[in-house]
């Protein structure tokens, strides 16, 4: 496994100039990150303040301030894109749906205008996971082990309504969504639920390891699920990535080594990207699950990953959030050229060099000719202009 860009067929490079280690300024510890489905926008919460940034240009689009003109001023712990101009946020025991309200004529100051809210839990929310495609929300906390709930969006009431409880006496470690299913990760097993019927579809169990992170493969034709795991021996821990085929309940790959600390987040497109608490990111081949490379993000803590699609100018973006801020990395795919392609590329480079040299030689010859004419004028003692 390459500890860098070498021999991996993939490059991860900071998108923006290196400021404070490649981290955007004015951003401290990040509690949640989410990407817009169609626009290159990133929303996150830092110190109780939601912010929206354009991850292609590195410009802040909006930050929200408490204002007397906006009701229910709060400091949300998490913020997510929902639909149109709506956001889902949570703080304390409450899930809120809100939209952006402009405060001034120049349009550069905003506050949150709340549309609706629901008290989800009596003892505080640990995490909210939002599926903006199926308009589902999963909320849970650490105070009551079985206190996990599904919420459904009702357009007619412009609010979330209680869907069902998830009655399991185990702490939830993570949630992941796909178009047809969502996964709920517990310490010792994974449940796959149907998004259409809200019923349990599969139960994946491995009693030998602890789970820490979960993510679906983005390819709808591949019913695969990646899970971060670790073994908790008395004097040592070992950390692995595991891949399940949840349609057949088959473990495709187990004990994939690459991390030295607990895996906290996973994203999966063509490649699998996983992040761990020591700040490292590992890139895995999405087909044979081999570790390709390992790099340091510059952040620590419970890292969060998000993968944004590339545009006409920018490649795909891997967004990393954690203690210290946010890093945006360009994901550049490289393919090894054949011998003929390498030869043609070399010929093209030499032709460009020859063309550039010819231009320089021509300019130099013209300059020499001009100097010779000026010298001839001075020799004649005229000091006048040379006529062509």
- Alpha-carbon span 378 to 368, nearest angstrom: 15
Confidence class for position 70, pLDDT limits 50, 70, 90: very low
Q: Does residue 339 or residue 159 have the better pLDDT?
A: 159
pTM for the whole thing?
Answer: 0.78
- Alpha-carbon span 325 to 23, nearest angstrom: 6
Average pLDDT over residues 243-263: 93
SS3 239: strand
Average pLDDT over residues 251-255: 89
pLDDT reading at 233 higher than 80:
no
How many helices (H) and strands (E) would you count in the chain?
1, 28
pLDDT reading at 12 higher than 80:
yes
- CA proximity to 307, closest of 328, 286, 334: 328
Longest dimension (CA), the chain: 105
Average pLDDT over residues 110-128: 81
pLDDT reading at 345 higher than 70:
no
For 292, the enclosing helix (H) or strand (E) is: strand 291-296
Whole-number pLDDT of residue 78: 86
Whole-number pLDDT of residue 23: 44
Sketch the domain layout of the chain as residue ranges: 10-336, 338-388
Whole-number pLDDT of residue 99: 83
Whole-number pLDDT of residue 2: 52
Computed over every residue of the chain, the mean pLDDT equals: 81
Structure confidence by residue, pLDDT tens digits, 211-232: 999 999 999 899 999 999 998 7
Structure confidence by residue, pLDDT tens digits, 296-318: 988 888 899 999 887 655 678 99
Domain 10-336, CATH homologous superfamily name and number: YVTN repeat-like/Quinoprotein amine dehydrogenase (2.130.10.10)
Average pLDDT over residues 120-149: 80
């Amino acid at each position: 496994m390459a500890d860098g860009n070498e021999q991996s067929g993939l490059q991860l490079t900071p998108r923006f100039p290196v400021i404070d280690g490649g981290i955007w300024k004015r951003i401290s510890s990040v509690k949640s990150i989410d990407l817009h489905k169609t626009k290159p926008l990133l929303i996150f919460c830092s110190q109780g303040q939601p912010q929206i940034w354009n991850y292609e240009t590195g410009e802040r689009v909006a930050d929200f301030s408490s204002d007397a003109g906006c009701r229910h001023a709060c400091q949300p712990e998490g913020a997510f894109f929902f639909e149109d101009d709506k956001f889902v946020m949570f703080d304390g025991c409450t899930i809120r749906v809100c939209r952006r309200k402009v405060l001034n004529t120049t349009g550069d100051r905003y506050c949150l205008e709340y549309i609706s809210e629901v008290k989800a839990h009596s003892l505080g929310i640990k995490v909210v996971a939002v599926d903006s495609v199926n308009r589902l929300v999963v909320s849970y906390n650490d105070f009551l082990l079985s206190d996990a709930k599904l919420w459904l969006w009702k357009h007619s009431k412009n609010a979330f309504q209680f869907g069902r409880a998830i009655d399991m006496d185990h702490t939830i470690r993570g949630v992941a969504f796909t178009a047809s299913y969502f996964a709920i990760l517990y310490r010792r097993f994974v449940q796959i639920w149907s998004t259409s019927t809200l019923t349990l579809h599969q139960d994946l169990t491995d009693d030998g390891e602890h789970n820490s992170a979960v993510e679906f493969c983005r390819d709808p034709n591949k019913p695969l699920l990646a899970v971060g795991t670790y073994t908790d021996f008395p004097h040592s821990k070992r950390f692995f990535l595991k891949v399940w085929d949840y349609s057949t309940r088959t473990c495709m790959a187990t004990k994939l080594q690459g991390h030295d600390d607990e895996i906290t987040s996973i994203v999966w497109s063509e490649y699998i990207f996983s992040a761990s608490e020591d700040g490292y990111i590992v890139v895995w081949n999405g087909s044979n699950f081999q570790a390709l490379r390992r790099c340091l993000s510059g952040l620590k803590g419970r890292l969060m990953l998000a993968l944004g699609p590339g545009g006409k100018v920018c490649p795909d973006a891997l967004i990393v959030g954690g203690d210290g801020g946010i890093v945006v990395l360009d994901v550049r795919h490289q393919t090894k050229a054949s011998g003929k392609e390498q030869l043609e590329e070399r010929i093209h480079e030499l032709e460009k060099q020859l063309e550039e040299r010819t231009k320089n030689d021509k300019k130099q010859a013209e300059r020499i000719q001009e100097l010779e004419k000026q010298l001839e004028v001075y020799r004649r003692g005229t000091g006048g202009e040379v006529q062509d």
